Every structure is written in C-alpha cells, then in structure tokens.
Chain A
Amino acid sequence: MNLKGEMSMLNVLHLEHTDVDAITAELQKKRDEMPQFFMQSPVVVDCNILGENVTDFDFLTLKESLLKLGFIPVGVRNIPASMNASLAKAGWAVMRESRKAYVEDNTKESSSEVNNESNKDHNTEKNNDITIKDVTNDPEQNLVEDQGLQQAVQAPRGAAMIKSLTVVKPVRSGQQIYAAESDMTVLAQTSAGSEIMADGSIHVYGALRGRVLAGAMGNESARIFCQSLQAELIAIAGRYQLLDESDTKLIGKPAMIKLSGEKLIIEPLMS
C-alpha cells in the first residue's frame, strides 16, 4: 500500500450566486454539451466569489443535483472556518487553498502517456524538473488573483511540479501522441498525417506538419509554439482551424498560437 499526497485533475465549480436551481440548470447545459467529458468527473466547489453569502448556501441540494447530473462532489473550498464542521458532517471534504486556474492546471502532479495505436513505445523522456516558478514567470500570469500569485510563487520547491513529455524522434504519419495532464515538447518534426495532443501547451522544434491539439481537456490558456508552422490543423481547447483556411502569413515560419476568446490567434514567435 502506498498513500501519498498528490494532485490530480479536478473540475472546480466557482459559485457566483446562491441560487441552486439556476446553478443546476447551467451545469446541466454544460454537461449536455460534453456528456462524455463530464461523466463521473469529480467536482470541487469554490466559494471565493460568494464571500460572506456562503453561509446561506444550500450545499445539500447542490450535492444532490451534482450527483443526479453524474458528477462526483468531492469537496468545498474557500469557506469560513465556522462552516467546516457542518460541511464535513454533510460528507464534503473541506479543502484548504485556492489558486488561479492557470497555475493550477500547470502545476498538477500529472501523468503523461503516449497513446499511439501503432506505437506503444515511442521514444520519450519524462521530465520532472520544472518548478512552478517557470510557469509564473510569464508576465501575463499576473492576472492571478489576490493571494493566489503569492501562494504560487512561495509554494515550496518540489511541492507542485509539472510533468512534461519530451518526444525526441520524428512523429510520423499515422502516429498519435497524447501528453495527458502535461505539456509536450517535440524535438524533431511532426509529419503530415500525424497527430499530437497535450492537455497543456505544445512546443515543436522541427517542422510542424501534422495536426496539433493543445489544451485537449479544455485548458484555454494552453498554447502552441513551433519553429516552422506547416500544420494541417491547429486546435486549442476544442477550437480548431485548418491552417489552409487561415489568412496567416506565417506558414513555414516560427509561430505561436493562442486562444483569444473563441478565436485562434497566430503570432510570430520572437527569438
């Protein structure tokens, strides 16, 4: 037996008001859009936005609604200490900290897997040496709210490491590689007819010719970086585009792709 403190992927439900029926309706809508995705998925309820109003909230009804919709209610966080006992009694785990979504997504203790119908053993190296500081170095991460950033930066080294999948050989036509809950770095080319996917961001140092899907589980802040953009299809968090249908002038050039609202933005990659 082995009991360890690890972090894994959880959906966080940020409560914005106390109307349980409205929340249930919204959840139902979300779930119906992607029933496979949310099936039996664990949910943590975050009450940070509610503030003091949280004391009025009907956690019992919410729990029933979540169960009915096929979610698994796990815990509650950002609640006043006075509520700990009653929630624990109602079967909720009381969780301690909160961080901004992006930092969270990138600091998960994650498992990387190579998923390849014809390729069980693609040459990959796993890298555990990226600390949370690398993540928060990005100036755009200053949107990390309130105490979140402080907490993130001060997190003890090693407490929140991310994994990254490094692919050292060309990804050939017909091959498919998926980095679960992780970033992916490809040091070689990816061929036309190949497919690379990561829950985080993707970096490709050879020519990028196949399909590339970052933020595969819905991380909208995932990005794609490449030295020679020749991809067939680009996608971030489910928003996809055929490269031939974009008006980019960056084909064959170093580029970065990010999501802005519902639109994929292709920018030159400064070196």
Chain B
Amino acid sequence: MSKVIVVTSGKGGVGKTTSSAAFSAGLAARGHKTAVIDFDVGLRNLDLIMGVERRVIYDFVNVINGEATLKQALIKDKRVDNLYILPASQTRDKDALNKEGVESIINELKADGFEYIVCDSPAGIEKGAFMALYFADEAIVVTNPEVSSVRDSDRILGILQSRSKIAEDGGSVKEHLLITRYSPDRVEGGDMLGMDDIVEILSIPLIGVIPESGTVLQASNSGNPVIMDKESTAGQAYEDVVSRFLGEDIPLRFVDVEIKKKGFFQKIFG
C-alpha cells in the first residue's frame, strides 16, 4: 500500500523543503521506494536542496501537460537507492496545476510501486498548497516555535481536515507535528515557545523536534539532505522522525538545555 504524505505548514521559511528532502531520503535509505514531488511551481527549491538542480530536464508541469512522461521527469538520486525526485517547473505558476493532472501522476507513481510519495507543499493556502495536500493520506505539519508559525499551522490543519480528498470522503488525514529550528536555550530564556505549548495549542501528535543547527544551512547549500550528515544533531533528529513515522517508539532528543560541565579552572575562576 502506498502512502501519500504532504509536508506542509502554511507559513514560509519554516523548513518544509528541508524536511521533505530529509524525510524522503531517510525513508529511501531504509529501503522504501520513495518519490518526493516539489509542488512549489515557479519557486523551485527542492532540486537545490537535493543537489539535482543541474539534472532537471522535464518537470512536474511538463508531465501534467503531457509534454513528457513521468519516467522522463523523475530524477533518480545518485546517493540513495530508491529515491526519486520530481522537480517543479520554474517558468510556470501554480495555475498550471490541476486536480486531474496531480491525481494521474500520483496514481502512476503508486502503480510503479512507490511506497511513499512525499509532497513538498509551497507556503500559503492557495492553489499550490491545496494541490499538495488534496491527495494526502498523512500530513507532516512543520512548525517553528513562534506564534505566527503555530497560527498558520493551525489554519492549514483546518484546511487538511476539510478540503482534502479524504476529508471530502468523510475520513480524516493522519496528522503529525514536526517542530523545526528548536532552540532549548531560547525556550528556557522565554524567547521561544516551548514544545509543550505548541503541542497544547495544535493538539496533534508530535513526530519530532529538530534542533536549530548550522549544519542545516550547510547541508542545503551543498545540496545534501541534512539527514545524510550522521554527525549533526539535526540529521539525527530527522532519523528519529523517520523511525517514529515507521512505527518505532523512541524518546525525543535535543530538546533539553545541555548542562555544560565547567572545567576545573573555570570552577575556580569562573
């Protein structure tokens, strides 16, 4: 059974594409055949984060319009087997998307034996975001620990549970909360919302907390999904997210303020 998972947030810049890239790479690395689709038509970014920007020949919109086959447009990742990227078009806009086109692509991917189809949603609640979530079975809602991001996530949750296909058919989309750019120090200092507060406001199950980390930016710039950096805290946290998504019950990491042990001399002079 294939699953369609939308990575969405409402607000921009919270880490949807970073999370989509890490999550799909993580699933593929564990042997699951995974496709990740960039729904941000006109502001194509996923290919950069995945490091395949120079390999894009055909895109999502070409396939919808019948100008290319899905096979021609899908880019196979060179680092991880089982991982395929369907890039967005940079020269078109969201109006190029339509339900029938998206549905036929998703159905074709399912028929091709893809276990997971990850839809990287654009920001906002307009057509692109709507198309990304319409066919979703599950949703990863990415939220930063600040009020406007939480509010926008709340809004997108409402849209998910009312306008997605599953909701229209009377069901409900399974929700997961992913908190990114979390900084325990700043939560302690009161600058940031704590994860408990966010969970309390959104009241959906938490699938992971990704700590704020410089390696995320480095990974993005170099075109390597951060999950491939096994040393970084963010990479490890994304690994945990994938584990939890696949049903493992593991404790949260990197959510408490690290107790920095003072050295002997610091104790005396510090």
Contact = CB atoms under 8 A, between A and B. Distances in A.
Nearest to A120: B162
Q: Report the interface size class on chain A.
A: 20 to 34
B168 A119 contact: no
A121 interface: yes
Interface in A169-211: 169-175, 188-189, 191-194, 206
A41 to B, nearest CB: 31
Contacts of A188: 203
A171 B163 CA distance: 14
Contacts, number: 58
B163 A118 contact: yes
Contacts of B240: none
B157 interface: yes
A189 B202 CA distance: 9
Given A121-B170, A188-B203, A191-B201, A173 B155 contact: yes
B154 A119 contact: no
Given A123-B172, A173-B151, A118 B158 contact: yes
A170 B157 CA distance: 9
Interface in B204-239: none
B167 interface: yes
19 contacts: A118-B125, A118-B158, A118-B162, A118-B163, A119-B158, A119-B159, A121-B167, A169-B161, A170-B203, A171-B158, A172-B154, A172-B157, A173-B155, A174-B158, A175-B162, A189-B203, A192-B201, A194-B158, A206-B203
B53 to A, nearest CB: 34
A116 B162 contact: yes
Interface string A207-243: 0000000000000000000000000000000000000
Contacts of A122: 161-162
A160 to B, nearest CB: 31
Given A119-B163, A171-B158, A174-B155, 16 more contacts: A118-B159, A118-B162, A118-B163, A119-B158, A120-B163, A122-B161, A123-B161, A123-B172, A170-B157, A172-B158, A173-B151, A173-B158, A175-B162, A191-B154, A191-B158, A193-B155
Interface string A130-146: 00000000000000000
Interface of B: 125, 151-152, 154-155, 157-159, 161-163, 167-168, 170, 172, 201, 203
A205 B151 CA distance: 21
Given A169-B172, A172-B157, A121 B162 contact: yes
B151 A192 contact: yes
Contacts of A170: 157-158, 203
Nearest to B204: A170
Report whether over half of chain A's contact residues are helix, strand or loop; otherwise say mixed: loop
Contacts of B162: 116, 118-122, 175
Contacts of A116: 162
Contact of A193 (B154, B159, B168): B154
A17 B73 CA distance: 82
User: Which are the 5 A-B pairs with shortest beta-carbon distances?
Assistant: A172-B158, A119-B162, A173-B154, A173-B155, A174-B155
A169 B170 CA distance: 12
Nearest to B201: A191
Nearest to B157: A172
Contacts of B203: 170, 188-189, 206
B135 to A, nearest CB: 16
B207 to A, nearest CB: 18
Nearest to B170: A121
Contacts of B163: 118-120
Contacts of A173: 151-152, 154-155, 158
Contacts of B151: 173, 192-193
A200 B12 CA distance: 39
Contacts of B170: 121
B172 A172 contact: no
A206 B204 CA distance: 13
A170 B141 CA distance: 16
A170 B175 CA distance: 13
Contacts of A118: 125, 158-159, 162-163
A186 to B, nearest CB: 13
A170 B201 CA distance: 11
Name the residue among A120, A173, A192 with the largest chain B CB count within 10 angstroms. Answer: A173
